[in-house]
Structure 1
Amino acid sequence: MTTPRAGRKRRLAALGRIAATALALALTFAFTPTTAATAAVTTPRTAHTATATALAACATDPATPKRQLRAMWVASVANIDWPSRTGLSASAQQAEFRAWLDLAVQKRMNAVVVQIRPTADAFWPSPYEPWSQWLTGTQGGNPGYDPLAFMVSEAHARNLEFHAWFNPYRIANHADPTRLVSTHPARQHPDWRFAYGGKLYYNPGIPVVRDFIEDAVMDAVTRYDIDGVHLDDYFYPYPASGETIPDAAAYAQYGGGFANIADWRRDNVNLLVKELDQRIHAAKSWVKFGVSPFGIWRNASTDPLGSQTSGMQSYDAIYADTRLWVKQGWVDYIAPQIYWNIGYNVADYKTLTAWWAGTVRGTGVQLFVGQAAYRAGASGESAAWQRPGELSDHLTYNRQHPEVLGDVFFSAKDVRADRIGAVSTLVAAHYSKPALVPAYGAGTAPAGPSITSATRGTGGVALSWQRGGTGTPVSYAVYRVDGSQSAADPCFFADARNLVGTTRATSFTDAGAAAGSAYTYYVTALDRLHTEGGPSAGKVVTGSGSGQFSVIVDNSGPGFTAGSSWGTSTYSGQRYGADYRFADPVSSSDVAWYQAGIPSAGSYKVEVWYPADAGYNSSAPYIVATSGGNQTVYVDQRSGGGAWRSIGTFSLNAGTYNVVGVSRWTAGTGYVIADAVRVTKL
């Protein structure tokens, strides 16, 4: 066996901490229980040791793990999940996809795995392959927008990782090449393909084909801000009864040095995996590369290194030597499809999970389990799959193997269907709190943020903060601890019991905060590899008994209304919440209104939040419906964004009405922005 390359060795060493549960908890944070000033002069070795010692002593709840990948596959082939059918308008497709992301958020997931190259076609304007037929119904048909750019942006707006899912070799789910668009590479190069089992495939044994597939994948990697490249279990085709794969000529031409065609086929797949790994990380070191193979590598009856199972062997049937990929470090994560129930005699879930845990142990390759949500409660499935708790029991068993760092569910429509309440049972038992994505590689912990405001309102506690002075934060984690805390105890952060949410914005509303309770909030920053820095100073919010009233109305929440000319954007990271609205200035009002319930007449401070940009309006009109009539305040939205900005104190009447509006009628240039407003009684 060859030695993994040096760069991979460094990554594996950085990831080796996952092998021991205590150490994984100890390294959850890169901070010590000190003030920011003290931490700044503490040596890294001292800080690391102090943190490890402190966190190792913390009692943690296995039901609320700090880090755990929670994802679902969103399949596009044959319109399994999205789009639900071909020919939908761009807006209808986008609405459907947003609904899938909202479902993921509702189930407290933190990633989606979306199929963007299902049949040698593309869900982006690829220079290598045609537009996918699953978008418009016609292969090569332009859907009128860039689905991949849209999907990545929407996922990141919800702080969901976006893993781009590619099927490497499948050309079509039929065997007629004339049904392919005339410009399809498989028609232009008939020698690249073969038919087998009623389908068309690229021949994995032809070097130029392998280069072409890699180029097609790398086009998406280099052009889009994806978080992962994900291959499914389709390598060489699954066996078809009575047929032989027609690649003898390619073996004769390229198979020199291999004693048999099976070893040559495995080497062809090995080369694709190894080379993709190298090319992905050379282009973007932070992008993860993972594979979700068939759940059985080999049976122990065939190979003593295999599992105590008796099912189909991917090593022999589809020429996927997945164990080798793990041991060589050619993948960053492996997500075997363990689609069988506990106690199934051919392939028991517990047996295979334990085998895969042992396989990744000590390698640094992360293990996520592919879960068969499609089988839970489905007609015709065995009695085990008619139990609402079967899937939940899988995750309970996973706790016995610290190498298991999360799960991926097939597929989105089955998560939504929640037959027999299987998904709801799982979420209640295992996903009661949010979770951070498992850290990947050797990242740099960003400095702790500074909480600038924490205001209790009718929608919960609204927080905003500024990033710390060092590091490059990509996302933030928000923690809520009961009562008024004088210092940050490291055990507050040892698991997710105090984690209330994550975001890529510099604001967050804790809708679950009880009205009469006092809390202390902390915010941490995470880099692109999910390395978490130390916490901010705590911010205390008293109970509502103090009599203070404050309400925040966001553009994406109830109480906001705007006409059809107002677009929606996630472009700026300075936004409040998931998105914001924008419109061109016109010589008419067309007000975007924020409605709020004002409890009593009196003086109120009005603050506005907007992302700033040089292309936004220099004189955006904010209208306040005061007790003496409407007053207009003009705000330069080219600067001062990403924070609450007071526009004055006003006398307001009691009642529920449109309190603040943003008008498009202005002499200023650039987009008028409507994001969020905050009204506080003085």
Structure 2
Amino acid sequence: MRRLTVSVLLAAVVALVTSALPATANPAQPRVGGGQSDGVTAAVACTPNPATPLRQLRAMWIASVTNIDWPSATGLSAATQQAQFKSWLDLAVQHNMNAVVVQIRPTADAFWPSAYEPWSRYLTGTQGVSPGYDPLAFMVSEAHARNLEFHAWFNPYRVALTTDLTTLTATHPARTHPDWTFAYDGRRYYNPGIPAVRTFVEDAMMDAVTKYDVDGVHWDDYFYPYPVSGVALPDAATYAQYGGGFADIADWRRNNVDLLVQEMSQRIHAAKPWVKFGVSPFGIWRNASTDALGSQTSGLQSYDAIYADSRKWVKSGWLDYIAPQIYWHIGFTTADYAVLMPWWADVVAGTNTQLYIGQATYRVGASGQSAQWQTTTELTNHLMLNRNYPEVDGDIHFSANDILADRLGGVTRLTADHYTRPALLPLSVTGTPPAAPATPTGTRVSTGVQLNWTGSGTSYAVYRIAGAGPADACAFTDATNLLTTVRGTAYLDKSAVAGQTYTYYVTALDRLQTQSAPSTGRTVSGGPFSVIVDNTDSGRFTASANWGSSAYSTQRYGADYRFANPQSVSDAAWWKADIPAAGSYKVAVWYPANSGYNSATPFVVATTTGNVTVSVDQRSTGGTWVNLGTFTLAAGDHNVVGVSRWTTGTGYVIADAVRITAA
């Protein structure tokens, strides 16, 4: 699939093209498309904005085979590999994506300590050598920290990009069972027709599913190898041994792949019902000229060429999602995007299988591509066309490097047209919604509005509506008011504008993405400017290494406070705030009190006419706001309040929190 297909295989495919229900679903229950209500919206007529759908999968493939995307090269240190992967996740977040599809078994190997197969050579450069950490555990944890779904991408049958078995580790299953493999077109494959092979590859993939908190299992388009003209697959003996009951070897091969799909679906959902199982097949199933059920295309038919009956997998309910690789432009005669996407939409209609479109983002602005791909409009037009088909629940882009490259600004245009707001993940089947979270707390701090809540969700959606008062009945119809999704019960709204009033709502989502009713709204006033800066606020509080940290006193504000011995030196700790306009402001400080603290702690306020020092007795009046007075402050983001060590008193001076309020 993907660039490996493009660089090594697609030439043959293009030549052919141009010349020639999951266990958790109720089959009787209709699927819930991305544009439909999921119980949050009130029962009134609400028209969602198609540009800001509430639910839509937005993902990118991160390919590891031949180091296409990650790691960028073999033999990198663990720290470098981890930093690179985190940058890919941050790129996904930057574009309001909500999932990544990461290749963790590219060639019968593993990106985790597998009980079945060796460490991948694409990590260290040598197959079987540990990278010194568990990449899969790390990747899943980092993805979930950003509330990105992690879909584990496996290649079931590919063993090596060479036919030479001696390039594999001595203990590799393909070397201990060479009869399980065959060579074809310069590569080595497991033979799909051998039942023991099918069981083994399923076991190898299930090892990752059962041990790690993955959200999905993903296969691409590699089943039987793509055909080479005049070269037969070397499986006649296997057919003779195992093909009883099949008069046609092609039907037998398709059945072999069908069994793999069906059995993996059953095993995944028996182990973890919430894990999604999806396949990204070649974009053409069959042409209508061959089969009346096929598409109006004239390209390679995956049903016949690689024995992938992808339409059957959908109709049989074996897949949670299908993501056909529709890698052609609108108007391409052989395989028109505007023909294939509606065809696939019709295939999934009435089933519980979601439809995501595999997008050829790698083609935009790339050398050698047709004129249609040398524009900023082709890719965005694909998603614009998708809006007319509610069966389309999202897109997966190949690949991460091409999202980053943003050739011709095509990705920037795509994001501006379609991904301006975050989106919840699609809801494939309706379930019992979790309880609504408790009313969130909302506090203005120097960097925005801090929200905290309690709830029973796996993840949460945070909505923000300008102004006070109850939400409009249609406020949750689309993502217009969706601020973010998080795994956790806290969020800092850094985009909140000082002085503006907002009302926040939080919903809970379970592992199946069923959404609760919204919490009661929390209005955070934008009235007179007020900000609290704690000593733990990164970039807002600064102090030298001479200032220690303590959480001893229960009178503290937040998690801890800072302390230092008095000394005749200029070593103040400072709180920084963004003052919206020059004027009068009340300044108060918070500290824990103790009889051993300083009785003459000097607090310094930076006013428009110079620093003003106010002495405070920190042996009393702790655990509350202590007013320093009203001062004229300059506008802008700067150090406003400090606490100095230069005092005649004895005992620790304490730095905890300050509050600045417009007078």
TM-score relative to the length of structure 2: 0.81
CA displacement, residues 439-495 of structure 1 (integer Å, 9 cap, x when unaligned):
13343212221234212333222211122xxxx40111111112111x233300000
Contact map agreement 2:151 2:216 (CA 8 A) in 1: yes
Please list, as runs of the form range in 1=range in 2, the aligned pairs for 1:150-299 lying within 5 A after superposition.
150-299=138-287
One-letter code aligned to 1:475? S
- Aligned-residue sequence identity (percent) comes to 59
Instruction: Sort the Cα spacing of 1:260 and 1:88 in 2 relative to 1 into closer, same or farther, 3 A.
Output: same
Question: Is 1:28 equivalent to 2:38 in the alignment?
Answer: yes
In the TM superposition, what is the alpha-carbon distance from 1:598 to its structure 2 partner?
A: 7.9
Residues 1:206 and 1:431: Cα distance change in structure 2 (over 3 Å): same
CA–CA distance in structure 2, aligned partners of residues 438 and 631 of structure 1: 57
> What amino acid maps onto 2:38 in structure 1?
T
Check whether the contact 1:294–1:336 (CA below 8 A) recurs between aligned residues: yes
Supply the AA of the counterpart residue of 1:474: T
CA contact (8 A) 1:277 1:330 kept: yes
Counterpart of 2:400, as a letter, is A
| Structure 2 gap ranges (5+) | 1-20, 546-557, 561-572, 580-584, 593-600, 605-613, 644-655
Match of 2:588, as an amino acid? Answer: S
- Choose the corresponding residue for 2:111, options 123, 137, 142: 123
For 1:327 and 1:561, the matched residues in 2 are separated by 64
Separation in structure 1 between the aligned mates of residue 308 and residue 575 of structure 2, nearest angstrom = 58
Checking the alignment, whether the CA contact within 8 Å between 1:169 and 1:203 is kept in structure 2 is yes
Q: Provide, for residues 37-88 of structure 1, a one-character-per-residue CA deviation record: whole Å limited to 9, x for no partner.
A: xxxxxxxxxxxxxx4x32xx11321000000000000000000000000111
| Structure 2 equivalent of residue 501 of structure 1 | 484
Counterpart selection for 2:291 from 303, 306, 330: 303
What runs of 5+ residues in structure 1 fail to find an aligned partner? 32-50, 564-575, 582-592, 608-623, 634-645, 661-676
Displacement after TM superposition at 1:364 (Å):
1.4
SS of aligned partner of 2:262: helix
The amino acid of 1:510's aligned partner reads: D
How do 1:525-536 and structure 2 match up within 5 A?
525-536=508-519
Residues 318 and 29 (structure 1), Cα distance of their counterparts in 2 relative to 1, 3 Å cut: same
Cα deviations across residues 350-377 of structure 1 (Å, max 9, x unaligned)?
A: 1000000000000111000000110001
Give the secondary-structure state (helix, strand or coil) at the position aligned to 1:490: coil
Alpha carbons of structure 1 residues 311 and 598: separation in structure 2 relative to 1, 3 Å = closer
1:92 aligned residue (57, 76, 80): 80
Contact 1:168 1:231 in 2 (8 A): yes
Who is 1:134 aligned against?
A: 122
Structure 2 distance, partners of 1:124, 1:109, is 25
Matched, 1:680 2:659: yes
Compared CA separation, residues 559 and 267, structure 1 to 2 (3 A): farther
User: What is the distance in 1 between the residues matched to 2:247 and 2:536?
Assistant: 66
Relative to structure 1, is the Cα distance of residues 265 and 17 closer, same or farther in structure 2, using a 3 angstrom cutoff? same
Which residue in the other structure is 1:16 paired with? 31
Q: Partner of 1:548 in structure 2?
A: 530
Please point out which of 589, 605, 629 is paired with 1:604: 589
TM-aligned CA distance change 1:175 to 1:219, over 3 Å? same
TM-fit CA distance, 1:125: 0.3
Partner of residue 621, structure 1: none
Shift of the 459–12 alpha-carbon distance from structure 1 to 2, 3 Å rule, reads: farther
Query: 3-state DSSP class of the match of 2:47?
Result: coil
Q: Is 1:106 the equivalent of 2:94? A: yes
Cα displacement (A) at 1:242: 3.0
Secondary structure at the aligned position of 2:218 is classed as: strand
1:457 is matched with: 445
Is the 1:203–1:209 contact (alpha carbons within 8 Å) kept by the matching residues of 2? yes
Alignment partner of 2:451: what SS?
Answer: strand
CA distance in 1, matches of 2:353, 2:32: 11
> Kindly tell me: are residues 451 and 263 of structure 1, through their superposed partners in 2, closer, same or farther at Cα, counting changes over 3 Å?
same
Mapped partners of 2:618, 2:79: distance in 1: 34
Alignment pair present for 1:422 and 2:410? yes
- Once the two structures are superposed, residues 4-55 of structure 1 have per-residue CA deviations (whole angstroms, 9 ceiling, x without a partner) of 79x56x434445233xx8xx53x32347xxxxxxxxxxxxxxxxxxx4x32x
Number of residue pairs the alignment of both structures matches: 574
Deviation, structure 1 residue 557: 6.8
1:387 aligns with 2:381: no
Cα gap change, 1:190 to 1:419, in 2 (>3 Å): same
1:387: how far off?
1.0
- Give, in angstroms, the shift of residue 552 of structure 1: 6.5
Which one of the candidate residues 73, 76, 84 is aligned to 2:61?
A: 73
472-481 or 215-224, which moves further after superposition? 472-481
Instruction: Please report how far the alpha carbon of residue 241 of structure 1 lies from its aligned counterpart in structure 2 after TM superposition.
Output: 3.0
Classify 1:562/1:367 alpha carbon distance in 2 versus 1 (closer, same or farther; 3 Å): farther
Alignment equivalent of 1:482, drawn from 451, 463, 466: 466
For 1:58 and 1:125, the matched residues in 2 are separated by 50
RMSD: 2.9
Aligned-partner Cα distance in 1 for 2:147–2:110: 24
Q: For the residues of structure 2 that align with 1:464 and 1:62, how far apart are their CA atoms?
A: 31
CA distance in 1, matches of 2:516, 2:165: 54
Q: Which range moved further: 434-443 or 301-310?
A: 434-443
Which deviations, in whole Å up to 9, do the C-alpha atoms of 1:607-650 show, x marking residues without a partner?
9xxxxxxxxxxxxxxxx9965899999xxxxxxxxxxxx96546
Task: Note if 1:328 corresponds to 2:316.
Answer: yes
Partner Cα separation in structure 2 for residue 193 and residue 67 of structure 1: 43
How far apart are the structure 2 equivalents of 1:625 and 1:241?
86
- In the alignment, which residue of structure 2 is the partner of 1:315? 303
Secondary structure at 2:326 match in 1: coil
Change (3 A) 1:536 1:311: same
The alpha carbon displacement at 1:193 in A equals 0.5
User: What is the rounded CA distance, in whole Å, between the counterparts of 2:463 and 2:523 in structure 1?
Assistant: 12
